[in-house]
Every structure is written in structure tokens, then in C-alpha cells.
Amino acid sequence: MSYRVLVVEDSPTQAAQIKQALEAVGLIVQVVADGPDAIREAMSQPPHLVVLDINLPSMDGYQVCRRLKRNPNTKDIPVIMLTEHASPKETMTGLQSGADDYIPKDVFAGEHLLDSLRELGLID
């Protein structure tokens, strides 16, 4: 089975890197660059996972996550926040907004993301 991942990232460079890494492990990846597009896409074609940045142009990642988790059609989709924001307060805010995992963009982010995908059963 091919799992679909929605990547919400406003940086084209970072979006391309994340897309490439996920496709390399066999996932189907769609990229959107802002919160309203992410919510619309998740509603119309629910993915198996959302990888979500916090810094987005019109609505931040915390707001996107809360809206997805409050909606009966999208509440069960795992959300992994992948972000520059690494403080304990920001991590707690992310988890409290409903994120299933919170990954700071650092040298370990790629491996951490793959570990999370394994835990979710999306890759071997």
C-alpha cells in the first residue's frame, strides 16, 4: 500500500528536501505552502500523515493542527510538526495543539522523522 503524506511547508527549498526524503522511502507526497490549503487538502483527500511547519504565511501550524484535530473527518490523521522552533514551550504548545510528534529542524530531524514514520507503520 502506498501511503499519502501532506507536507505543509512554505519554504520551497525545505519542502523539496522533505518531499525527496519521504519519496525515497516509498511515500506519496503532496506539498502545500499555507494553512488554509492544508486544511482544504486534508478535508478533500485525507492523507495518512501531515508533516506541518509552524511558520506559515496566513495561519500558523498550531492553528492548522488544532483545526485538523477538532474536525471529525481529520481528527485521526497523525500530525508531525517539523519546525525551527525548538524551545520546550514551543514543543509543549505543539503537542497541546494535538500534534502526535514534534521534531526540531536540526541535524537529527531526518532520522527522527523516519523513526516516527516507522512507529506510525508508514514505512518498514
Asked whether residue 102 is assigned to any structural domain, the reply reads yes
Total domain count, the chain: 1
Whichever domain contains 94, its CATH number is 3.40.50.2300
Residue 58 makes CB contacts below 8 A (sequence gap 6+) with 34, 35, 36
pTM for the complete prediction?
Answer: 0.96
Asked whether residue 47 is assigned to any structural domain, the reply reads no
pLDDT (0 to 100) of residue 86: 85
46-to-4, 39, 84 alpha-carbon distances in Å: 8, 10, 26
Q: For 49-101, how does the pLDDT look when each residue is reduced to its tens digit (9 = 90+)? A: 999 999 999 999 999 999 999 999 999 999 999 999 889 999 999 999 999 99
